[in-house]
Amino acid sequence: MPIVKYRGATEPLWHEWDRKAQKRGLRHTVYAVNGDQYTGEWLDNLKHGKGTQVWKCTGAIYSGDWKFGKRDGYGSYSIPDPVTKDYKKVYTGWWKNDQKCGYGVTFYAGRKRYEGEWSGGLRSGWGRMYYRDGSIYEGQWLENKPNGQGMLRLPNENRYEGGWKGGKKHGPGKFFYLDKGQLFEGIWAADIPKCGILIDFGRDEAPAPTQYPIPKV
């Protein structure tokens, strides 16, 4: 009786091609259709682990941690200077779900700088902001604005210590006029002092004291 041999079932060729196309582990540079490029680690076709992304349209670079296709972990974001084309760092710190989250440092134009906590891509929590004019705010933030307790020190060393709401002085606070040797302590509402008392404070050391001291009541 003749023996009939049947050919074993062969796997479709596209299965093998699909396995090879799946990006997993460390890869060389992979280019997107729009010209963006990524060099680093992958998991199930998603950026995952350590890697560097370059966006073609802006020239921006992110180098750091990724999780399932999004910036997540510690990393730095830089952009090219429009004149010199040299890269300047914009943000260094922690990310979550592709947004700044946790502690990080952001560099703005005009030598402005923020060091502190972020949430959902916004300054929220404790932080210190260095402004262009030399002022420094240190304290609590909420959604990119001073909110809670904080201190604002001006370039002439005068300072405000107290409550803030929506980026404005609000609630009990003290304003030290160190240039005049005076202290105002009172209640603020939307940056305006509503009531309080003004007394002499460090008048003998003040560089430009008032002509007469405040009489004691």
- pLDDT digits 0-9 by tens, 133-150: 999 999 999 999 999 999
Q: Which long-range contacts (CB under 8 A, 24 or more apart) does 67-70 make?
A: 68/43, 70/97, 70/98
Percent of the chain at pLDDT exceeding 90: 70
> Is the dihedral angle over the CA atoms 129, 144, 132, 188 positive or is it negative?
negative
How far, in Å, are 9, 37, 47, 87, 105 from residue 29 at the CA level?
A: 37, 6, 12, 20, 28
196 pLDDT higher than 50: yes
Mean pLDDT of 139-163: 97
Question: Is residue 117 within 8 Å of 129, Cβ to Cβ?
Answer: no
Listed range (11-15, 30-34, 155-159) with the worst mean pLDDT = 11-15
Mean pLDDT of 186-198: 94
- DSSP symbol at 193: E
3-class secondary structure, 184: strand
3-class secondary structure, 205: helix
Q: What is the pLDDT at residue 114?
A: 98
Rounded distance between C-alpha atoms, residue 181 and residue 44, angstroms: 66
Chain segment 70-94, per-residue pLDDT in tens? 999 999 999 998 888 899 999 999 9
Question: Is residue 172 within 8 Å of 179, Cβ to Cβ?
Answer: no
Rounded distance between C-alpha atoms, residue 39 and residue 54, angstroms: 9
CATH code of the domain made up of 108-216 = 2.20.110.10
2 pLDDT higher than 60: no
- At 207, the pLDDT band (50, 70, 90 cuts) reads confident
Rounded distance between C-alpha atoms, residue 210 and residue 15, angstroms: 86
174 pLDDT higher than 80: yes
Among the listed residues 143, 184, 139, 182, the one whose alpha carbon sits nearest the alpha carbon of residue 163: 139
Q: What is the pLDDT at residue 14?
A: 45
7 pLDDT higher than 80: no
Rounded distance between C-alpha atoms, residue 140 and residue 162, angstroms: 11
Chain segment 41-61, per-residue pLDDT in tens? 999 889 999 999 999 999 999
Q: What is the pLDDT at residue 102?
A: 97
Q: Tokens for 129?
A: 């902001």
Half-sphere exposure of 155 (CA within 13 A, CB side): 4
Among the listed residues 115, 130, 122, 129, the one whose alpha carbon sits nearest the alpha carbon of residue 101: 122
**Domain boundaries defined on the chain:** 108-216
What is the average pLDDT score of the chain? 89
pTM of the model: 0.82
Chain segment 95-114, per-residue pLDDT in tens? 999 999 999 999 998 889 99
Q: What is the pLDDT at residue 158?
A: 95
